[in-house]
Amino acid sequence: MAPIPCPSCGAFLPAQPVRCPACGLPLTGPDAARLWELDQRLAALQVERLQVLDLLRSHGPLSSDAAAAPTAAATSATAADASATAVPGGAPIAPAAHGSLTSAPGPRPEAPAPRRTWTTQQTLLAVGVLLVLVASSIALAVAWFLIGHYGQMVVMGGLTALAALVSFRLSRRGLPSSAEALALVSGGLMLLDVTAARRFGLLGLDSLDPRGYTAGAGLLVAVVLAVLHRRDRRVAAFALLSLTAASIGWAGIVAFAGGAATGAALALLGAVLFGSARLLLPESLGLTRRAASGPASGWAVVGLLAASIGALAAARTGAGASVTGAGLACVALLAVLGAAGALVVRRVVAVRAAQLGSRAAVRADWSRHALTGDWRALSVVAVVATLAVPAAVGSLGLQLGAIGNAALASIVGAAAIGLLAWRPVTHSMGDLWLLGQAGLAPLLLVGVAAAHGADVPTTITLLVVAVVASASAVLRPAWRGASAGTAALALLGAVALASGLGSPTTQVLAVTVLGLLLAGGALARPSRSEEVPVALVAAVALALALLESVSRALPDGIVATTLATIAAVAGATAVLRRPVRPLAEAVAVLSGTAAVWLLGGLASPEIQWVLLALTAALLVALAGWRRGVLDEVVLGVGAALTALATVEVALDRSWPHAAAGACAAYALVAVGYAALPHRRGIVTLAVVGFTSATWIELLDADITRLEAYTLPLALLLLAAGLWSHRELGDRSWLTAGPALSVGLLPSALATAVVDDVPRALVTVTAAVALLAVGAWRRWQALVVVGALAAALVAVTQLGPLTLRAPRYLTLGSLGIALLLVGARYEQSRANARHAVSWLSSMS
């Protein structure tokens, strides 16, 4: 939000002011609110007054009849006002005192500007103009050889003059659209006439230089069209075509330029001339004078492009310099364009503020009319000035080479610090623009230094950026957050480049130390604007150090040092910054576990295994301590991953008993943790741990019996389910279903691939017993699992016998079964529904 000036002394006010810090004027209460309303009304009335003045200037002198009507209306309005101010007794009412509630008229609502639409009449007129111009072109091409050159010149000149006269007549009759259309025809024919005159060699014009003829003819046509517009200022087409012809003429002058610098200088001179025309031409020229700001801004853009192209064409990337006179001239033109554009904007805003009463009114007027009239041209000039300064600095850095670019960055940085120290702290847009350009230039030179590809000059440039950003953070408290982040990022780049001149190990350690220092600085500045940007840069530095150490395949000690630093920073962040504690804990757990893994591996496998086991135990203890918050989940997951790493180390070193013991120990810890309130689900980890321990020992003993692996797991699942039956709602599928499925179904399926009669007998016996118990206790899981296991055994055992049985016996049995089912279809359906209902009623 833009700052608001004091209505008394004009000093800028802080956010939510109570009184003016300069003059002490109270700014709260009903009187202050009334004063604010009056200031807004005055600003609106001033803007409306200027619009009415512009409207009167654009209409020009009116006829006597037209002028008499508003005079009479004003006279009658004055009489009505005089009668309204008299009381019935004849005594006039005195006007209210200035500043009272009755003296200030309510603000008139500003009528929205009518939206310009393309009417049917305008469409017809436009098509007519196009057809006339095309027909005239054809006539000019055909009749030229019939009536001679000079006869054609007379005819076309007559048509041009006739179109202008008819346009004036239509304008006086109140037909503006038709008048504008004929004015376009007249102006177009005039441009066509001067073009054809040289094309066909009239009066020896074909011997003239094309550029000189274009310049002279364009300026001559511009003067003629301006005079025509002066005759009737209601016809805007003459003014617009006059400026177009003048621009074409000036383009002919610019064409004489022998290089980019000369072309840019001539383009800027054109901008100055058109801008001077906007200020110095008489009011009688109407729109020709007022619209001259458009070509002025356009030539400013052309000058910017030409100077930028010339400056870049003279530069080359690399360590050496490529300074040329033309390149320096283009750089100088860019600098002049930036400074002159800023001065023009500043001057126009100051004059407009004097007219409207305040800079706030100027900003409001500019924002409402940014795309129309002079404000549009001023917006273009502001953009051109804003782009010209970085273009000048960047192109000069490219021309000076790597060393020269570093020196230029130092000079620009010193100038920026001087401006920060010299300029007072204000919220003026001009000051912000100036300081923004001074701060942007060193950043741009960093990119130029990178394009040169020299590490030392780039490091110097980055250090300059860091110094300027640090000074900005100190001298401009409002910019401290962004400035501190920029300084930290520039310092990171400088340290990375400087340390990269040595070994990769030096670079990684330097970046790691910088990340540690930045993180410490951020943690030491809680709730400050610079905390988050500096912390983010610290995180980037540590991540880059870790990535570099891994990608370069540095020794494990370097990688472990980086990981330990990350773990320490993340742990401190988790302790000191509660909002980001879960994320910081996750980073600390992962990086700390990885660091322990690498550090233990440097000593011996035994120490590595012990350190990982202790780390897992520590994480479990911390999870229990942080029970009830999100930290518990983060630490618990970290403990599980660390335990898995411990087992993996033991298996990798061929220590099966150590791995099994670790699994059993972790399972016991999980059982103890599951005994805590609302933590019964952790018993699942205990089941996994005990099962892993059992399977590791079985594999080490070369035991291949299926039931040796499934039955212990089934027993563990059954024990866990029975222990958690209350939390599971006494549902048979949750309490006993997993255990029964693991204990019976694999053995039942194994009977299909292995001819093992004892297994089949034991499995079907257990399944039938389970089915009976389930039917007795009304437990659905027991019934379904028992029936499914018994059916699987029956199918696997009867299948081979069925295949070896006589075919007539098999087909006959199937036929009899179908007859029985068909005969008892309805009863079978009822029995099936009853069975389903009975099964569904079980728990």
Helix (H, G, I), strand (E, B) or coil at 10: coil
**What total of structural domains would you count in the chain?**
1
Q: Which domain holds residue 28?
A: 20-56
Q: What is the pLDDT at residue 812?
A: 60
Residue 27 resides in a domain:
yes
For tokens 């920029």, what's the residue?
Answer: 486
Beta bridge partners of 86: 92
State the pLDDT confidence band at 535, using cuts at 50, 70 and 90. very high
Half-sphere exposure of 590 (CA within 13 A, CB side): 6
- What single-letter amino acid sits at 246? A
Q: With beta carbons less than 8 A apart as the criterion, state whether 291 and 242 touch.
A: no
State the pLDDT confidence band at 71, using cuts at 50, 70 and 90. very low
Calculated CA dihedral for residues 563, 564, 570, 573, nearest 10 degrees: -150
- What single-letter amino acid sits at 233? R
Q: With beta carbons less than 8 A apart as the criterion, state whether 793 and 748 touch.
A: yes
CA distance 705 to 755: 14
Range with the lowest mean pLDDT among 53-67, 155-169, 496-510? Answer: 53-67
Whole-angstrom Cα Rg for the chain: 46
SS3 content of the chain, % helix, strand, coil (to 5): 80, 0, 20
Q: Which residues contact 534 (CB under 8 A, 6 or more apart)?
A: 484, 485, 488, 518, 521, 522, 525
Q: Which residues contact 175 (CB under 8 A, 6 or more apart)?
A: none
Q: What is the pLDDT at residue 96?
A: 35
CA distance 756 to 741: 20
Q: With beta carbons less than 8 A apart as the criterion, state whether 385 and 437 touch.
A: no
Tens of pLDDT, residues 205-220: 767 777 788 888 888 8
- What single-letter amino acid sits at 356? L
State the pLDDT confidence band at 330, using cuts at 50, 70 and 90. very high
Chain-centre distance for alpha carbon 306: 31
Residue 37 resides in a domain:
yes
CA distance 390 to 603: 57
Q: What is the pLDDT at residue 201?
A: 67
State the pLDDT confidence band at 840, using cuts at 50, 70 and 90. low
Q: Which residues contact 340 (CB under 8 A, 6 or more apart)?
A: 385
Average pLDDT taken over every residue of the chain:
80
Q: What is the pLDDT at residue 778?
A: 75
Residue 113 resides in a domain:
no
Half-sphere exposure of 401 (CA within 13 A, CB side): 8
CA distance 345 to 223: 29
State the pLDDT confidence band at 379, using cuts at 50, 70 and 90. very high
Residue 51 resides in a domain:
yes
Residue 840 resides in a domain:
no
Q: What is the pLDDT at residue 625?
A: 84
Residue 39 resides in a domain:
yes
Tens of pLDDT, residues 611-661: 888 888 888 888 888 877 788 888 888 888 888 888 888 888 888 888 888
| Over residues 332-354, mean pLDDT | 91
| Over residues 375-396, mean pLDDT | 92
Closest CA to 707 of 665, 660, 662, 756: 756
Count other Cβ atoms within 10 Å, centred on residue 244. Answer: 18
Q: What is the pLDDT at residue 411?
A: 92
For tokens 């205990």, what's the residue?
Answer: 686
Q: How far apart are the first and last CA of the chain?
A: 67
CA distance 831 to 843: 21
Q: What is the pLDDT at residue 142?
A: 67
Chain-centre distance for alpha carbon 476: 25
Q: What is the pLDDT at residue 70?
A: 43
| Over residues 534-544, mean pLDDT | 94
Range with the lowest mean pLDDT among 15-24, 27-36, 338-347, 495-504? Answer: 15-24
Q: What is the pLDDT at residue 842?
A: 61
Q: Which has the higher per-residue pLDDT, 685 or 381?
A: 381
Q: With beta carbons less than 8 A apart as the criterion, state whether 419 and 438 touch.
A: yes
Tens of pLDDT, residues 287-328: 888 889 999 999 999 999 999 998 888 876 555 667 788 889
Count other Cβ atoms within 10 Å, centred on residue 359. Answer: 20
Count other Cβ atoms within 10 Å, centred on residue 363. Answer: 16
Helix (H, G, I), strand (E, B) or coil at 655: coil
Closest CA to 770 of 749, 799, 791, 744: 744
Beta bridge partners of 92: 86
Q: Which has the higher per-residue pLDDT, 318 or 227?
A: 227
Residue 42 resides in a domain:
yes
Tens of pLDDT, residues 770-781: 778 877 777 777
Which whole-number Å values give the CA distances from 450 to 401, 406, 447, 455, in the listed order?
A: 11, 11, 5, 8
* pLDDT surpassing 70 at residue 87: no
Q: Which has the higher per-residue pLDDT, 515 or 371?
A: 515
Q: What is the pLDDT at residue 111?
A: 46
Q: With beta carbons less than 8 A apart as the criterion, state whether 211 and 196 touch.
A: no
Q: What is the pLDDT at residue 84?
A: 35
* pLDDT surpassing 70 at residue 79: no
Share of the chain above pLDDT 90, in %: 19
CA distance 587 to 582: 9
State the pLDDT confidence band at 2, using cuts at 50, 70 and 90. low
Q: With beta carbons less than 8 A apart as the criterion, state whether 565 and 542 touch.
A: yes
Q: What is the pLDDT at residue 286?
A: 85
Residue 45 resides in a domain:
yes
State the pLDDT confidence band at 713, using cuts at 50, 70 and 90. confident
Q: Which has the higher per-residue pLDDT, 122 or 700?
A: 700
Q: What is the pLDDT at residue 4?
A: 75
